[in-house]
Structures are given as C-alpha cells and as structure tokens.
Amino acid sequence: MTAPPSLHLVRLAVGELAPVTLTVAPGEVHCLSGPSGSGKSRLLRAVADLEAHDGEVWLGDIDQASLPAHAWRARVMLVPAESHWWEDEVGEHLPRAEASDLEALGFTPEVLTWQVARLSSGEKQRLALLRAVSLEPSVLLLDEPTANLDGATTRRVEAWLMARIRERHWPVLWVAHDADQIARVATRHWRIEGRNLREAPAWV
C-alpha cells in the first residue's frame, strides 16, 4: 500500500483565528487544544471544506478547491464531536464492520442489529470512529474523539485508533483537551492562544 500524502494548511483562515500554515506528514498526529470557543472545531471544519474560509488546503498535490466538496470529504474525513446518523440500524452504516474492530471498541457483533436511536453518546462516538475508519480515507480529522468516554474506554479507543493510524499512515488532526491524552498520542501539539495557533510541548 502506498502511504497517503501529507496534509498542508496554507494561510488557512476561519473565524477569529489568525491564518494557519502547517503540514501534517503521513502517520503524524497533530493535536489541537485551546479554550472552549477558541475555534478548534471551525478549523477542522474548514479543513474538511464544511465551512467557508480563506487560504488553501492541500492533500499532497491535490488542492481542496479543485475537488467537489463531497469528493474532498471522502478523502479528508471529519469525525465531529456529535456524529450524524441517517439510517435506523447501526449495521446499515457499517456494512464492512469486522468483528475484531467491534470487539476492540467494546462491542459484540450484535451491535449491528441495534437501532441507532438507542445508542448512548459514548457508543455513538465509538461507532462513528469505526464508520469513518472503515471508509478508508486519506486523512482523519478527529474532534474530541473520546469526549464521552470513561478513562478505561478512552485508553482502549486510543489504542485502537493509534494502531489504525500506524497501519494506514494517515495524517491526523486531533482536537483534545486532556493533557495526558495529548502526551500519549501527539507527534506535535498546537495550542490556540488568543487568535494564534502556537506550538506547545506535547507532554504538558
């Protein structure tokens, strides 16, 4: 398998945030942190072409502006903090789910027969991650992917995600609030301070 290309943000500007230029290489996890309302989710949404913005985003030599939004989003996959579900049954969203992945995320295959309406927020979050990963994107954008999970489940989901990221060499932007999580997963850590994104140590 060829490694996915790097993700490049070039003077990307959305909302109040000063323009952001950074490169996420294949297999790197860049964590974004910052106060509530500082613009982390909007930045991810701009990278996914879900929000109007200035500047450029490139996937290798593919310019975001050169692709229809749906084609870009199939490659540059956002997993929002609150996932969207449009079919009634879980299995309709996960036609290629592997029992080993379900087990690693704390489910038995029976979950595929469950109604989406009965899912807890933590169950939804884990299944939304599995859905995104099973669509084989080139980049993952994760908005607080473990926000609704207890400590033990967080570690389990992190381990599963990190194994997939290492296997697939995806560049990853990962919004996180928890310093311990950032220390565990980040290759680099960017923190929003005022209007600026500044590099911060990954271990604080």
Ligand X SMILES: Nc1ncnc2c1ncn2[C@@H]1O[C@H](COP(=O)(O)OP(=O)(O)OP(=O)(O)O)[C@@H](O)[C@H]1O
- Contacts to ligand X by CB under 6 A: 15, 34, 36-42
Nearer to ligand X (CB atom), residue 138 or residue 154: 154
Nearer to ligand X (CB atom), residue 39 or residue 137: 39
Coil, strand, or helix at residue 34?
A: coil
Output the six-digit token pair for 79. Answer: 């997993």
Residue 155 CB, nearest approach to ligand X (Å) = 22
Residue 119 CB, nearest approach to ligand X (Å) = 21
Give counts: helices (H), strands (E), the chain: 7, 10
Residue 185 CB, nearest approach to ligand X (Å) = 17
Output the six-digit token pair for 94. Answer: 């996960």
Nearer to ligand X (CB atom), residue 37 or residue 201: 37
Coil, strand, or helix at residue 182?
A: helix
Residue 73 CB, nearest approach to ligand X (Å) = 17
Nearer to ligand X (CB atom), residue 42 or residue 169: 42
Q: What is the per-residue DSSP string for 73-136?
A: HHHEEEE-SS----SSBHHHH-TT--HHHHHHTT--GGGGGSBGGG--HHHHHHHHHHHHHHT-
Nearer to ligand X (CB atom), residue 29 or residue 94: 29
Give the distance, in angstroms, between the CA of residue 27 and the centroid of all CA atoms in the same chain.
Answer: 13
Residue 30 CB, nearest approach to ligand X (Å) = 15
* Distances from the Cα of 42 to the Cα of 102, 114, 204, angstroms: 30, 32, 24
